[in-house]
Structure 1
Amino acid sequence: MSTNHTGTGMAAPLNGGRVAGYAGLLVLGALTGVAGALVQGDWFPGGLVLALLGAAALFYGGRITTGTGVGVAAPALGWLIAVILLTATRPEGDFVFGAGVGSYVFLLGGMVAAVICATLRPPAWPASGSARPGK
């Protein structure tokens, strides 16, 4: 007796494609964190809004494409690692983030966006072949 265990979401079997996808989301999260750190201080307040929208879009996009919470966690982890590394001071005393309110809004806003995207349910797609939802 053979049983086929093909799950969806978190129950789906782990394969090379899924691991590569999550690794790609991790790298995209780090790149988004670096870009957001640079933009949010230069073009205040528009840069701050742009940086937060970019991070939130990446987190939610990871949720939609993978259908799992890991799709949010991977880019959020990359974003957080990049932002934490950029907040550390260098031996010369230089750092990327200033002491203004925009830096704190970017740090807290990005974390809040990750939590919100992780708790959202992915949208229900209509069945294939149906022109109208619910039919």
Structure 2
Amino acid sequence: MSSRQRPRASSESPRTNAPPRSPAPTGMAAPPNPARIPVYVGLVVLGAAVGLAGTLVQAALFPGGLLLALAASAGLFYGGRVLTGTQLGALVPAVGWFVCVVLLLGGRPEGDYVFGEEIGLALFLLGGMAVAVMCATMSRLPFQANDTGRPGT
């Protein structure tokens, strides 16, 4: 055996003619991660809190309060998406937000309800739902700037 012979194939050397691997399942096909359940519960509670605060702010300070409430909702929905890395991360706080806002629409037997003007109510509901849909249907999250994708760097 000479020193110029090729080394024999072993389990440590990579195979160049290996078939491509199937990608790992993502989305609803991925196996559930039990560590995310408390995160989702927290996002529902935060969604309800932002819905309640947004309802009060948009009714009190109509033009600016409405923009502030929608910006807070957008920040929560996008933050949930980035935190979990899934579309469900944007939808879960939107569900909490929507349930809270719909419950506040019911009003009281005396005829009072939280929303001040009908135009503010319509813009808050439609704007919040539109923001939730936009955050949930984004194509993909941006990559982090410090990850170049090259191994060993």
Regarding TM over 0.5, the answer is yes
**Structure 1 stretches of 5 or more lacking a match?**
1-5
One-letter amino acid matched to 2:109: P
In the alignment, which of 114, 118, 124 is matched to residue 143 of structure 2?
124
Relative to the length of structure 2, the TM-score reads 0.74
Percent identity over the alignment is: 54
Matched, 1:14 2:60: no
Map residues 60-99 of structure 1 onto 2, 5 A cutoff. 60-99=78-117
One-letter amino acid matched to 1:54: A
Contact 2:47 2:94 in 1 (8 A): yes
Which whole-Å CA distance do the structure 1 matches of 2:36 and 2:25 have between them?
13
Cα deviation for residue 9 of structure 1 reads 5.6
Contact 1:9 1:66 in 2 (8 A): no
Which whole-Å CA distance do the structure 2 matches of 1:99 and 1:42 have between them?
10
Higher Cα Rg, which structure = 2
Q: Secondary structure at the match of 2:107?
A: coil
Relative to the length of structure 1, the TM-score reads 0.84
Give CA deviations for 1:36-93 in whole Å, capped at 9, x if unaligned.
Answer: 0000011111100000000001000001111101101110000000000000021111
More helix by share: 1
Matched, 1:58 2:61: no
Runs of 4+ residues deviating >4 angstroms: 6-10
Q: Secondary structure at the match of 1:45?
A: helix
Q: Give the aligned length.
A: 126
